[in-house]
Amino acid sequence: MKPKNALASAFKALGDPTRLRAFVMLRASCGPAGCTPDSDFAKRTLTDLARHLGVGLPTVSHHLKELRQAGLIRCERQGRRVRCSMNEALLRQLGLFLMDNGARSKANKKRDARERGSDHA
C-alpha cells in the first residue's frame, strides 16, 4: 500500500465514532514505548472491549477487523487468543502528516496575512 493510500485508509477507519473510541482505548492501554506483552492492551479481551464500548461482540470483532485492514493494528493468533499490537510505524506517519500539515497551515496563514497587508498598502 502506498503511503498516501495507507494514510487515507487509516483516516477512513478512524472516521467511525465507535471504531475511533476502540482505537483510543486500545492506544491508551499502551505505554510510551508501545505495547508490550504485559501491557493492558495485551490483556484486553473482546468481551472487555464490548462492555466498555457498549456494543456486542460481533461489532467489536468487525471494528478490530477494520482497524487491522487499515494497518492501524496487527493481530496474530496464539492458540485460542488473538494478540493485537499497534502499528507504530503507521502511527508515526499519521503524526508526521498531521504535524506537517499544521505547520503548512500556519505558514499559509502568515503568507496570506502578508499578502493581504501588501494589497492594502
Task: Say if residues 96 and 10 touch (Cβ distance below 8 Å).
Answer: no
Contact 38, 83 (CB under 8 A): no
Give CA–CA dist 121/116, Å, rounded.
9
The residue type found at 76 is E
pLDDT for 36-85, tens place per residue?
555 555 566 778 888 889 999 899 999 999 999 999 998 777 777 767 77
As its CATH architecture, domain 3-87 has Orthogonal Bundle (1.10)
**Bridge-based pairing state of the strands 73-78 and 81-86:** antiparallel
Q: Is the pTM of this model over 0.85?
A: no
Distance of CA 101 to CAs 52, 58, 94, 105, 107, Å?
33, 36, 11, 6, 10
Q: For the chain, which residues make up each domain, given as ranges?
A: 3-87
